[in-house]
Amino acid sequence: MQVLYEDNHLLAVVKPPGVATMGTPQGVETLLDQAKQYLARKYQKTGNVYLGVVSRLDAPVTGVVLMARTSKAASRLSAAFRDREVGKQYLALVEGRPDPEQARLEHFLRKDERHRKVHVTNSGAEDATRAELSYETLVCRGEHSLLLVKPVTGRKHQIRVQLAKIGCPIVGDRKYGSPTPLKQGIRLHAWRLAVEHPVRREPLTLRCPLPRTWPEWAQHAADKAGE
């Protein structure tokens, strides 16, 4: 397990592709399980290890996941996420070139539990929820583009669905229209997370480098954007 940040209150780790953050059937290991095992080994804990997940990622998505090591930290961070006081930035490698190169997207989404998907619908539809994000194109290379995405809301599959709706599905995301097969995961990465520390009340910015499996040109563009 790769740790990005750790103190007495928080643990931030790198989520690999194909691993669920939490909530899998019994016997299927999650990122939460791995994090608890890491803490148990490091601090030689024999009992249950408390960890509260305050940021989740879909199983095929990579990047930073933040967990709370105390109930107080979990409560305060959950409130910060709920009140949209957390800055979230993703990198997305998409099919095609967005037009315009940067924009704010607003859609209404509805879950399709039967097919485990999310669809764009109209504002008056039953169970519709509003989803909002902004994106900017960092670089285009051939048939793909690298986008910096800043979600405002935190709906299930939101970035995947909204980018697919404008004709730019995330590379490898066959569920939402990408024609590009990948061995594992999709090219969506939780790159940066900016939050106030729940106890110290100081700004905390977590950054997770792109996986090495991403194209080299995307790596260079991400490094330049992070300077």
Distance CA 225, CA 227 (A): 6
**Among candidate residues 10, 156, 6, 8, the one with its CA nearest the CA of residue 74:** 10
Active site members: 58
Distance CA 90, CA 93 (A): 10
**Among candidate residues 177, 199, 217, the one with its CA nearest the CA of residue 8:** 199
Distance CA 165, CA 221 (A): 25
Distance CA 113, CA 136 (A): 31
Q: In sequence order, what E strands does 17-95 have?
A: 52-53, 62-68, 87-95
How many C-beta atoms lie closer than 10 Å to residue 113's C-beta?
7
Distance CA 31, CA 157 (A): 19
Question: Which residue, chain included where needed, has tokens 């039953």?
Answer: 126
Answer yes or no: are the C-beta atoms of 204 and 195 closer than 8 Å.
yes
